[in-house]
Each structure stands twice: as structure tokens, then as C-alpha cells.
Structure 1
Amino acid sequence: MRHDDAYHWPPELLELMIETVPRLIRSKEGVITFLRGAGVSDQLLAPHQALLASDPAKVNKFKIVRSVLGHLNEQGDAALGVRRALLKRVTEFENFSSCWPEDQLKAEGLVAQIRRVVNTKDSFTRMQHERDTERQDRLATQQAERKKAAARRERFSDLRNRLAALFKEENPYARGAGLEVLLNNLFKTDGVSIRDAFAIRDEEGVTHEQIDGVIEIDGKQYIVEVKWWGKPVDIEPMSRQLVRIMSRAEARGLFISASGFTKPAVAACRDFLTHRVVMLGELREVALLLEREEDIANWVREKARQATIERLPLALLGTDF
């Protein structure tokens, strides 16, 4: 197994530890006990323990520490816990009076150096961790965005197929109802708040109004009417829609027709702009939105702008017809 360099002591820290530990502990036996207390295995300590028992004069505290710490560093992440425990014991060392008198100042200075090195390394580790976390968050966000975009493409593909199927539908009522549902799903795809088709009835259950849908964009509500007739929408159905809009405070209107509008219907909407915002849209615009997978909310916003500023209730956007 290959060990990452991040799990090893850098050379300067290793040398500082080798110089420090023997000065913190007076006896050779005490050094072995200190190392064992940090979790160093008996397998690493056994040769030094045996030599200490047979010929103490040949044992050197610095050689013990160099040998043991060298092996620990070579073990990489397998000995990470032991190396951390050793660093903790050294950096938390406070009673230097237990050292040999000639080693006290030297040991205190070495411990201070180790603390600085460890603090610097910890700061680097924290920064690296923060960068890694930031990178992971960025990758997660990008992945979520890719999944969202893929889901959106799939929904648009489904809507295009459903629109193509509606062109083959011979029943006018089924065709119109299908277009209402398709448009509602298109608005939902781009996160537009919408209320599906509903009827307004009196206390006796008699229907007085049939609303194809209501959408809300930028805090403004639009009453939506959808028609798929064999001829252009004329003034009469347009007038009914304008009455619905006028009877609701601050409401706007969006009328979408698969067969276009007559000139009188367009003129009535233009005159109505003095009172409220009303926009006319054609099915070919919707088909183009589906083909280009564009945001329908932006389409509505531009329609509203053209109606308000240019006084154009019927502005065919993004089309070359």
C-alpha cells in the first residue's frame, strides 16, 4: 500500500523530535517507558529493551529514539495514531525540572520549536481541509446542477413528444385540454407557481367561469386562457377573457391560441392595455420554446414588457415567421 506524504512527519519535525525526547527523560529506561506510553509496540522496543538489560553501556537514548521514530515514520498512516500521541506528549510537556540540568533550557527551546512547527502544520492542514471541503461542495453543486439540467432536458423532450401527439389528435376538446395540461407542465418545469384549471360555481353548483390556469411570476398573477380551434380567436371569446381579468384586482392576462387571433381581437386587447396588461401568444412560440428549451418565465416577462412599453399585445418573440 502506498502511503501519502501527508501522513508522514516532515524531516525537520522528525529531527526535532529525535533531539527533544531524549532530553525530556533522564534515564534510558524512562525513554522506553515514554515511548511505550505513547503506543509504540513492544516489537519496536524489544531490541532496545534487551540490549539495555544485557549491556546498558552500549545503549544510547538518542539512538533509541532515532531508531524507533524512524520506523514509525516509515510506517506512514499505519502509525499515524502513535505519532500523534508522541507529539501530544511532547507539546504538552511542562515540567522541565525533571530533565538533566544541562538539558533543561535546550529541551524547553526544542519543545517550543516543535509547537510552532505543529501549529504551522495544523494551520496548513486546516486550510487544506477547507480547500478540500470547498472543492467537494463545488463538485457536489456541479453534479446537482448537471442532474437538474439532465432532468430538465428529459422533461422538455417529453413535452415536445406530447405536443407532437396533440397535432394528431382529431377531437378538438381533447386537443385543447391536452394543450392546457402541457402548458401547465411547461410552467412547472421552470419553477413557475401555477394553479391548474378550475371552475367557479355559485351556491347551487352552477359554473359561471372556467379558468384554464393562473400563474404567478415576479409577484404578478396572470389569468391564462388556452384555445386550439380551427380558426383564429375572435372578439367574443377575447371579450370574455378581458372581463375575467378586469373583475380581479391587479390581475394580468395571457391568451394562447394555436390558430392565431383576428384583427378585432388584437385591437380590443390593445385598447385594454390602458387598464391592464394583457398578452397574446401563439402555439408556434410555445413550440419554439420547447425546441430551444428556453425559460418560459422569461418569455412571459418579455411579452409583458412589449405589451406595457410598446403597446403590443401580440408580439411574436423569437420567431422568424
Structure 2
Amino acid sequence: MRHDEAYHWPPELLELLIDTVPRLSKSKEGVLTFLRSAGISEDLLRGHRKLLQADRNAVSKFKMVRDVLGRLNEQGDAALPVRRQLLRHVTEFQEFTTLWKQDRSMAKGNIADIRSIVNTRDAFTRMQQERDAERDERLAAQRAKQEEANRRRQRIQGLKDQLAQLFSHTNPQARGLALEQVLNSIFDADGILIRDSFTLRNEEGVAGEQIDGVIEVDGALYLVEVKWWNRPIDVDPVSRHLVRVFTRAEARGLFISASGYTRPAIQECANALNHRVIVLGELKELVLLLERQGSISDWVRHKTHTATVDRRPLVLFAEDF
């Protein structure tokens, strides 16, 4: 469909209408009445009414219709509702017995052709509208995806800045608590289900074990322990975390250190892989992941896969994979 045809009758349809409308009434006045009933303004009809009053033979039905419909077609978008109403009047016409006998067959044939053109154009319009709707829906989805990606980038940038600020903390305890909060936000930004740190107490209300947090990746639960010490993590803190993991059916362990691990601590986790999935991570890996807009979930998955298959609890992002 050409651009103009969205607002005007195409030539073949206009000619059919010009040949059909004059046949739908026996009189010239009846043709003008038919046009007026289709919504055509009196301004387009007034001149022909005056001509008929002055001299009925001055103009034919076909010339009147050609002039009125031609001017209507030139009104563009403003006359679109009127043109549609006229088409409905013509295509819904049924009173062929009221016409001149010689006009009946021609009118029926013309109206059938007009209906075919209208149906074809309507079908094309519907298909075009469906394609436009699909395109708009696709573009909207792309925009929403892009906007979400932009929001995630902005959030990750903010978390990276927060993490960088932690290096200026002089109070180890305050720094550790702040690190837990930032890590929870990092996990949340990646769509990982989390539970913040909590303390288990006995019946007397005495604190038992402290758990820094729990995350869920691919349906598996990981008990998270976070340490920011000035020395590498040794066997004792790792062992305490392993006890927490072993006392919970099907739980896995994730230990994150800002200062690395001793060799015995790594070996202790490797031995534990006989029974549970235990993975070790370092804070510097998360810093790199944030800088590269990487996926925390993929980071956990890769470490879990390597721990399970290669029995290596510690592999480093950007160094080992």
C-alpha cells in the first residue's frame, strides 16, 4: 500500500464507486440523498442541488457523483470517516429491486467487486497492524531489557564504589559488617535469593552459631561465611564453617576471604569435598566481577563445577578461569 492510499481511495476503487452510486437511486435527487445519508457534508452537495433546481438536464447522476467523490477524496485524512461510512452504505446495499432494471446487474457486480477490494485492503490493514503491533512489542521488550541492563550497570557501579570505600575502614569489625551488607546487595543485584546474617540461640537465649548469610543458586543453598582479616584464613575458621554446613542436610558452603587462605585451610576444604560441595572465593574476584559487569551466579556455578569435578575448592576468576 502506498502512503497516499492510507488516506485516499485508490483509483480503481474510486472509479467503481463513481460507476455504482448513481445506479443506486432512480432519481438525481435520490443520489444526493444517498450521499447525504452517508455523511457527506451539504457543502459538497449544495451546488448540485442548485443546478438541479435551475435545470435538471444540466448535469447527469454520474457527473454529480464524480465531482462529489473526487472532492471528498481530496480532503485526505479529515474525510476518512465519511469515506468509510460511504463504503459501508454501498457494500451493505440490498434494495436492488428499487433500481432501474438495466442498473441492477451492474450494481450487483460493482458492489461485489467493491466488497472484494475492501476486504482485501482490510485484511492487508489487519496484517499490517499485527506486524506493527509485533514490532512495537518487540521494540518495547528490547527497550525494557536495555533499561534494565542500564539500571543494573548503574547499581553495580554503585556497589563497586561502596566496596572500594571499605578499604578505608580502620575498624575491622565495622568493616566486616559493612562487607556483609555490600555482598548481600551484590548477590541481590544478580538476582540471587539471599538471607541476611543471623544468629542461632539455644533455649536459654544464649547465642550459638553466627551465620553470615545464605544464598540460593540453581535451587542449591550455600551457607556463606565472609572474613576480612589482615592474614590468610587458616584451618580453624574454615573448619567452623564446615561444621555449620555438615549439620544441615544438602547445604553447600561458600567462604569468601579478603586476605586469601593458607595451604592447610585449602586442603581441609578439599578433604571435605568427599561429602559436601565447598567452594572458596576471594574478595578481589568480586571486585573484578563488578568491574567487568560479570555474573555472580556464573561465578558460583563455575566454582561449584570445578570443586565437584576437579576437587579444587579454590579457583580464581581472571586467573584460573
TM-score normalised by L of structure 1 = 0.97
Q: Which residue of 1 aligns with 2:316?
A: 316
- The structure 1 segments of at least 4 consecutive aligned residues displaced by more than 3 Å after TM superposition are none
Deviation at 1:318, TM superposition (A): 2.0
The letter of the residue matching 1:262 is: T
Partner in structure 2 of residue 97 of structure 1: 97
2:255 corresponds to: 255
Partner of 1:127: 127
CA distance in 1, matches of 2:320, 2:164: 20
* Structure 1 position 142 matched with structure 2 position 159: no
In 2, distance between residues paired with 1:116 and 1:5? 16
Aligned to 2:70: 70
Superposed CA offset, 1:39-77 (max 9, x none): 111110000111111101112111111111111111111
Q: CA RMSD in A?
A: 1.3
Cα distance between partner residues in 1 of 2:284 and 2:138: 39
Checking the alignment, whether the CA contact within 8 Å between 1:28 and 1:59 is kept in structure 2 is: no
Q: What SS is found at the alignment partner of 1:79? A: helix
- Residues 70-92 of structure 1, C-alpha deviations (whole Å, 9 max, x = no match): 11111111001110100001111
Query: What letter corresponds to residue 137 of structure 1 in structure 2?
Result: E
Distance 2:217 2:309 in 1: 18
**Structure 1 residue 241 corresponds to structure 2 residue 241:** yes
- The answer for the alignment partner of 2:202 in structure 1 is 202
Distance (Å, rounded) in 1 between the aligned partners of 2:263 and 2:253? 18
User: What is the alpha-carbon distance in structure 2 between the residues aligned to residue 204 and residue 117 of structure 1?
Assistant: 87
* Deviation (angstroms), 1:132: 1.2
- Decide which moves more: 155-164 or 199-208: 199-208
The alpha carbon displacement at 1:4 in A equals 5.2
Alignment size in residue pairs: 319
Distance, in Å, in 1 between the alignment partners of 2:241 and 2:214 is 13
SS of aligned partner of 2:130: helix
Provide the residue aligned with 1:230 in structure 2: 230
Task: Report the Cα offset of residue 5 of structure 1.
Answer: 3.9
Tell whether the 8 Å contact from 1:199 to 1:207 is kept in structure 2 after alignment. Answer: yes
Aligned residue for 1:84?
84
Identity %: 60
Counterpart check, 1:24 vs 2:24: yes
CA shift for structure 1 position 221: 0.7
Deviations 1:132-181 (A, max 9, x none): 11121122112111211111111111111111110111111111111111
Alpha-carbon distance, 1:202 to partner: 2.1
Q: Which residue of 2 aligns with 1:107?
A: 107
Deviation readout 1:230-286 (Å, 9 max, x if unpaired)? 111111111111111111111111100000111111111101111110100011111
Three-state SS of the structure 1 residue aligned to 2:168 is coil
Deviation at 1:96, TM superposition (A): 1.3
Per the TM alignment, residue 203 of structure 1 is displaced from its structure 2 partner at its CA by 2.7
Corresponding residue for residue 7 of structure 1: 7
Separation in 2 of the partners of 1:157 and 1:27?
Answer: 80
The whole-number CA distance in structure 2 between the counterparts of 1:259 and 1:45 is 92
User: 1:320 deviation in Å?
Assistant: 7.3
**Which 5+ residue runs of structure 1 have no aligned equivalent?**
none
- 1:35 is matched with which residue? 35
- In structure 2, distance between residues paired with 1:101 and 1:185: 85
Query: Conserved in 2, the CA contact under 8 Å of 1:9 and 1:73?
Result: yes
Shift of 1:319: 2.8
Counterpart in 2 of 1:171?
Answer: 171
Is contact 1:91-1:115 (8 Å) kept? yes
8 Å contact kept, 1:285–1:319: no
Superposed CA offset, 1:9-66 (max 9, x none):
1111111111111112211111100010011111100001111111011121111111
- Aligned-pair distance for 1:112? 0.4
1:282 aligns with 2:282: yes
Paired with 2:182 and 2:194, the residues of 1 have a C-alpha distance of 13
Work out whether residues 160 and 291 of structure 1, in 8 Å CA contact, stay in contact via their aligned partners in 2: yes
Secondary structure class of the residue paired with 1:57? coil
**1:69 counterpart SS class:** helix
Measured in 1, the distance between the counterparts of 2:156 and 2:25 equals 74
Aligned residue identity for 1:170: T
Normalising by structure 2, report the TM-score: 0.97
